[in-house]
Chains A and B, each alone.
Chain A
Amino acid sequence: MTVILRVPAFLGVGLVYLYRYTLGVLFPGGCKYHPSCSQYAIDALRRYGLVRGIFLAGWRLLRCNPWSRGGVDYVEQQRLFR
């Protein structure tokens, strides 16, 4: 049962990997955080599932803007979901 519940998150992780090796290559760029936004998305999906993972990854992407300071930011440090 738990395995079935984790399928959507796995699919999400697959999509992130797909992004990495297609659009990510065609539009090279960095990330001002560690781990990078795509890695953060993968960690978030694995740890918090599809819905909360998407929210966390989206929030991270919004923070990865020219006016933020960047730095070290692991999924475990998130405060949106407790």
Chain B
Amino acid sequence: MILASPLTPLENVLRSILEWMGPHGTLGLPWAWSIVALTVLVRMLLVPLTVKQIHSMQAMQAHMPEMKAIQQRYKQDKQKRNEELMKFYRDNNVNPAAPCLPLLFQFPVFIALYLVLRHSSELIHGGDKVSWLGLVPDITAHANAHWTGYLLLTIYVASQLASTYFMSATMDKTQRTLMMILPVAFVPVLVNFPVGLVLYWVTTNLWTVGQGIVTRSLVPKKPPAPPKRSSRTPARAPDPGDGAKEEPVSVEPAPAEAATPRRVKRKKKKKARR
């Protein structure tokens, strides 16, 4: 109830959109498809927020060698590695990680949809078609009521794993593994959720996966040539224009980049000195 009261307006909005899309509304879609359409609508509204991130990922390709050097340097120390990477992102004004705030918009929509579907009797009338694709008999029933519910849950787990794979690219390994295992542990709980909600989840996850694939295809695979050239010909570095501009921006990574081909030699020198 504490959660329900501030969400009531949103609940009403979602309900009226569903009604507008639903069998008695303008679009006249079956209930199951109106849930899918509503989910797609919500995700489409969030797309403008990810545009900046896609640009950032594209810009990041140019900085790949430096980032790899940082990851290599702090291989053992997870904390320090994250810190240095974040510092590097900030200094170069690129950040491939997704921000938290847009994620927050999805929670109230999800909870409100849950409430709408739980009180589905207000929305869905007796004679309405509540089946989906001729397979799922009733989208307001619990997922464990019919075998198709289990099928949808299986698709959910698969889509969840795939979307986690795309969203957690910036996470460290242990955290990522945990995030991949936990959705499976949730299945016993989700079994008691209405099928319509599982449908929402599957749709939103598939959207995330699709967005991830599109994002990746937009990002060029090979980094552009300039950084390579600079590392091969350090002697030519005193180019007054480029060298002076770039070096003060990234104080640490610049020497690392120049050093990458000779790392082995330098290490040996250091050892010899000690």
Contact = CB atoms under 8 A, between A and B. Distances in A.
Interface of A: 21, 23, 25-37, 61-62, 64-72
Interface string B37-56: 00000000000011111000
Given A31-B99, A32-B95, A26 B183 contact: yes
B86 A34 contact: yes
Interface residues of B, number: 39
Contacts of B52: 66-67
Contact of A65 (B51, B97, B101): B101
Contacts of A35: 82
B52 to A, nearest CB: 4
B80 to A, nearest CB: 10
A27 B107 contact: yes
Q: Is the interface of B mostly helix, strand, loop or mixed?
A: helix
Contacts of A32: 86, 89, 95, 97-100
Given A26-B186, A31-B98, A66-B101, 20 more contacts: A25-B186, A27-B103, A30-B168, A32-B97, A32-B98, A33-B86, A34-B86, A37-B100, A61-B100, A61-B101, A61-B104, A62-B101, A66-B102, A68-B99, A70-B86, A70-B90, A70-B95, A70-B97, A71-B95, A72-B83
Nearest to B208: A28
A61 B85 CA distance: 20
Contacts of A21: 182
B167 A28 contact: yes
A68 B53 CA distance: 11
Given A25-B179, A70-B90, A34 B103 contact: no
Contact of A64 (B53, B86, B87, B100): B100
Contacts of B99: 31-32, 64-66, 68, 70
9 contacts: A28-B160, A28-B163, A28-B164, A29-B103, A32-B86, A66-B49, A66-B50, A66-B102, A69-B95
B168 A28 contact: yes
A69 B88 CA distance: 11
B169 interface: yes
A21 to B, nearest CB: 7
| Interchain residue pairs A-B with the least CB separation, the first 5 | A71-B90, A34-B86, A30-B97, A64-B100, A28-B167
Nearest to A29: B103
A64 B101 CA distance: 6
